[in-house]
């Protein structure tokens, strides 16, 4: 008998076979994230602190790509944040398959990220578009404890920069 209860996502690290599906999900989320080629996405993944994948029923349903400080990354947002914050985990992009939204996939991805870097002293940073507007992402990040640390108007885009304090070392009990 089939269950009508949706499967919960399994959060795991990126595997090479995920690239095509993650590229589709990323590029379907434009303009909330910038579009990429497969080569650009793979370069980002290869330079990332971590690329987490949310898998549902064996298929990637979303991802969170996180970069560390000290990279030579040609991104005006990364540069802005690097000039103001040190020892960070920067969410360069988080995207979820449009058909899978509303299933707490973003929450699960961030929970795994926070656990991964608990006790390291890394703060969590990101930016959210104001133009074009992305109020859902701003509410989502605020709910997770991110707070505004600045804004920039780049002409074609305007963004809000957000930061969340480092996650303390978790105890031995789970």
Average pLDDT of the residues in 102-108: 92
Distance CA 65, CA 47 (A): 10
pLDDT at 3: 52
**10-164 is classed CATH 3.40.50.620:** no
Over range 152-174, report the average pLDDT: 86
Contact in structure between 121 and 87 (CB atoms under 8 Å): yes
pLDDT of residue 7: 77
Question: pLDDT band at residue 5, thresholds of 50, 70 and 90?
Answer: low
pLDDT of 110 higher than 70: yes
As a whole number of Å, the end-to-end CA separation of the chain is 33
Q: Do 45 and 13 contact (CB within 8 A), yes or no?
A: no
Alpha-carbon distance of 65 to 67, in angstroms, equals 7
More confident residue, 30 or 63: 63
Domain boundaries, the chain: 10-164
Report whether pLDDT(1) > 60.
no
């Amino acid at each position: 008998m089939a269950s009508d209860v949706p499967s919960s996502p399994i959060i795991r690290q990126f595997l090479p076979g995920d690239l095509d599906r993650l590229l589709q999900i990323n590029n379907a989320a434009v303009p909330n994230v910038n579009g990429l080629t497969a080569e650009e996405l793979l370069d980002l993944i290869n330079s990332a602190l971590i690329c987490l994948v949310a898998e549902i029923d064996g298929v990637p349903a979303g991802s969170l790509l996180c970069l560390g400080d000290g990279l030579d990354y040609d991104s005006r947002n990364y540069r802005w944040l690097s000039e103001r914050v040190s020892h960070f985990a920067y969410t360069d992009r988080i995207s979820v398959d449009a058909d899978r939204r509303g299933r707490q996939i973003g929450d699960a991805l961030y929970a795994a990220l926070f656990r991964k870097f608990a006790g390291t002293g890394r703060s969590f940073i990101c930016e959210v578009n104001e133009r074009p507007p992305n109020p859902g992402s701003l509410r989502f990040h605020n709910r997770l404890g991110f707070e505004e640390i600045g804004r920039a108007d780049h002409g074609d885009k305007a963004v809000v920069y957000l930061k969340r304090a480092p996650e303390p070392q978790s105890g031995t009990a789970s």
